[in-house]
Amino acid sequence: MNKLSIIILSFLGAGLMACSSIYIANQTGTLIPIEKGEEQTSNMEESITPYRDSLDQEMNLIIAQADTNFIVERPSGNLNNWVASAILTHQTKHVRLSIPVVCLLNTGGLRSSINKGPVTLADIFKIMPFDNTVVWVKMPIESLSDIQEYLLKSGGEPIANASLKDGQLLINGVSKETKEFLVITSDYLANGGDKMNFFKKAIEKNDTGILMRDCLIEEAKNQGTLVSEPTPRIELK
């Protein structure tokens, strides 16, 4: 977990402690004046403020621009497409592959949209607030039909280097001779999250330990202006 995530989680943890209830079996002691509690709260606020200001400054850092609104949609939205393509590009641009590869994520994992204009670090954190890591999964070609069926039933998920049209899932590079293919996804999904049970057929799994969010941040910086791909990759009848 990087430094920024730790700071964010620290504030979240403080909020959770403030909202939690504590059971006390035996109560003894003297009453504490309300004024003292307010003073302690004020002192805590003074201690936290420098860290909060530093965090706000870092989170408001502009890392890219968006020429249009990037929206999460089913069966296929331009944010769905951007996220899947960004992670695929990040993971494969320095890798020589011998078998086809597809990036498959889940629409529910995209927690926000990106508005037209400056794109900040906070925008990416809002899209992916959880520390999910990138996992490479080698799958048998027979499982392709399972993924196809899942996409048809779910109503569409973010996907890259593939398309679903006329009820058929097509992955670029797959031919009659293809026996295996790679799926780049999250650790949550690779372990069967969102009922993606087809990953149980995996031949091999490799967790890179790289945060998906970090992939998006790096690709956003590389692009400068986010590349919008509005053409639907999933079409349902």
pLDDT of residue 57: 85
Question: Under 8 Å CB-to-CB from 57, ≥6 apart: which residues?
Answer: none
pLDDT of residue 18: 36
CA distance 118 to 65: 5
**Beta-bridge partners for 186:** 134
Question: Under 8 Å CB-to-CB from 218, ≥6 apart: which residues?
Answer: 90
Q: What stretch(es) of the chain map to CATH 3.90.780.10?
A: 65-117+128-223
Order across the sheet with 101-104: list the strands: 159-160, 101-104, 180-186, 133-140, 204-211
Question: Under 8 Å CB-to-CB from 22, ≥6 apart: which residues?
Answer: none
pLDDT of residue 237: 75
Tell me the whole-structure pTM to 2 decimals. Answer: 0.79
pLDDT of residue 130: 95
pLDDT by residue, tens only, the chain of 237 residues: 554 554 554 444 443 333 333 333 444 455 555 454 556 556 656 656 656 666 788 999 999 999 999 999 999 999 999 999 999 999 999 999 999 999 999 999 999 999 999 999 999 999 999 999 999 999 999 999 999 999 999 999 999 999 999 999 999 999 999 999 999 999 999 999 999 999 999 999 999 999 999 999 999 999 999 999 999 999 997
pLDDT of residue 56: 81
Give me 166's structure tokens: 């006329």
Question: Under 8 Å CB-to-CB from 120, ≥6 apart: which residues?
Answer: 59, 60, 61, 62, 63
The dihedral over CA atoms of 213, 49, 51, 133, expressed in degrees to the nearest 10, equals: -20
Backbone CA torsion sign across 66, 67, 70, 76: negative
* Topology annotation, domain 65-117+128-223: 5'-nucleotidase;  domain 2 (3.90.780)
CA distance 1 to 199: 26
pLDDT of residue 44: 58
CA distance 53 to 158: 35
